[in-house]
């Protein structure tokens, strides 16, 4: 059976949980990271030397980097459905997946940490303001993309929706001034109504 290490309030763990559920794979999730600790132990470092969650183990092989894990699972178990075989068709979803990890989520982190994980008296209001502006700028880009594509990767639900879903879900539930984003708000209910998203998305933002 697949073993997945990671606390379920991490967006990077949530995307792997969603993917495993979408594919109907049996797995065991072990709480790790944050208040659960574990990530700094030598046993865990042997699994993921970054000492971050998630880490996944299957048949003696260890995987880390959440987007790579989702890509691996979809390529192995959902070729032609969640994973497009044609590299040109797949490139759109790939691009937005990397954008989530390297661009969108880093923009959101100061607002998230201050507003959700920091006591009010210690919050940095300027950092929150800058992070909101940067996040909204990125979401405008995604909104424009979704204006002409039903899903992140194109015409059908795929691995890139799973990768972007938890991060966008988190932002849409943040205690910040929300912008309209009409195309994101058309896309989000479509993906979040999938039964497999339940254990990934329907959790309090913590
Ligand atoms: N690029 C990595 C980032 C992993 C990451 O930053 N994980 C965070 C949680 S989202 C973490 O492990 N933080 C330390 C902790 O939870 O103890 C991935 O996508 O897997």
- Running DSSP on this structure, what letter comes out for residue 82? T
Summarize pLDDT for 10-21 with one digit per residue, the tens. Answer: 999 999 999 999
What is the Å distance from ligand 1's center to 50 Cα?
A: 9
The pLDDT, as a whole number, for residue 202 is 86
Q: Return the best residue to mutate from 11, 16, 31, 33 for the ligand 1 pocket (most ligand atoms within 8 A of CB).
A: 33
Does residue 10 line the site of ligand 1, with CB under 6 A? yes
Nearest atom (ligand 1) to Cα of 52: 12
| Each residue's pLDDT expressed in tens, for the chain with a length of 206 residues | 999 999 999 999 999 999 999 999 999 999 999 999 999 999 999 999 999 999 999 999 999 999 999 999 999 999 999 999 999 999 999 999 999 999 999 999 999 999 999 999 999 999 999 999 999 999 999 999 999 999 999 999 999 999 999 999 999 999 999 999 999 999 999 999 999 999 999 888 89
Does residue 65 line the site of ligand 1, with CB under 6 A? yes
Dig out the tokens for 168 from the structure: 């966008």
Nearest CA residue ID for atom 9, ligand 1: 10
The pLDDT, as a whole number, for residue 204 is 86
What torsion, rounded to 10 degrees, do the Cα atoms 146, 147, 149, 153 define? -20
Which pTM does this prediction carry?
A: 0.97
Mark residue 6 as left, alpha or beta (left: phi above 0; alpha: psi -120 to 50; beta: remaining). left
Q: Return the best residue to mutate from 9, 12, 66, 162 for the ligand 1 pocket (most ligand atoms within 8 A of CB).
A: 12
Alpha helices in 100-124 (DSSP H): 105-117
The pLDDT, as a whole number, for residue 196 is 97
Does residue 150 line the site of ligand 1, with CB under 6 A? no
What is the Å distance from ligand 1's center to 52 Cα?
A: 4
The pLDDT, as a whole number, for residue 52 is 98
Q: Which fold has domain 2-77?
A: Glutaredoxin (3.40.30)
Q: Please name the residue that has the structure tokens 């699994």.
A: 47
Distance, in Å, from the CA atom of 165 to the CA atom of 206, rounded to the nearest integer, reads 16
Distance, in Å, from the CA atom of 23 to the CA atom of 75, rounded to the nearest integer, reads 11
The ranges of the chain annotated as CATH 3.40.30.10 are: 2-77
Distance, in Å, from the CA atom of 4 to the CA atom of 17, rounded to the nearest integer, reads 8
Domain 87-196 top-level CATH class: mainly alpha
The ranges of the chain annotated as CATH 1.20.1050.10 are: 87-196
What is the Å distance from ligand 1's center to 64 Cα?
A: 10
What is the Å distance from ligand 1's center to 100 Cα?
A: 14
Task: Please name which of 24, 27, 155, 46 lies closest in space to residue 13, comparing C-alpha atoms.
Answer: 27
């Amino acid at each position: 059976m697949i073993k997945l290490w990671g606390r379920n309030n991490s967006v990077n763990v949530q995307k792997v949980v969603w993917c495993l559920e979408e594919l109907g794979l049996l797995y065991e999730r072990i709480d790790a990271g944050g208040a659960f600790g574990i990530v700094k132990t030598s046993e865990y470092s042997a699994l993921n030397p970054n000492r971050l969650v998630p880490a996944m183990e299957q048949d003696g092989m260890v995987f880390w980097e959440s987007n790579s894990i989702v890509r691996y699972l979809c390529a192995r178990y959902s070729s032609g459905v969640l994973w497009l075989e044609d590299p040109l068709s797949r490139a759109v979803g790939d691009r937005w997946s990397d954008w989530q990890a390297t661009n969108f989520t880093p923009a959101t982190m100061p607002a998230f940490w201050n507003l959700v994980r920091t006591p009010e008296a210690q919050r940095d209001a300027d950092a929150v303001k800058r992070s909101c502006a940067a996040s909204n700028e990125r979401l405008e880009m995604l909104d424009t993309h979704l204006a002409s594509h039903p899903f992140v990767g194109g015409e059908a639900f795929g691995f890139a929706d799973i990768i972007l879903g938890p991060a966008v879900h988190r932002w849409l539930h943040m205690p910040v001034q929300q912008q309209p984003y009409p195309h994101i708000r058309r896309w989000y209910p479509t993906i979040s109504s999938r039964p497999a998203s339940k254990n990934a998305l329907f959790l309090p933002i913590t």
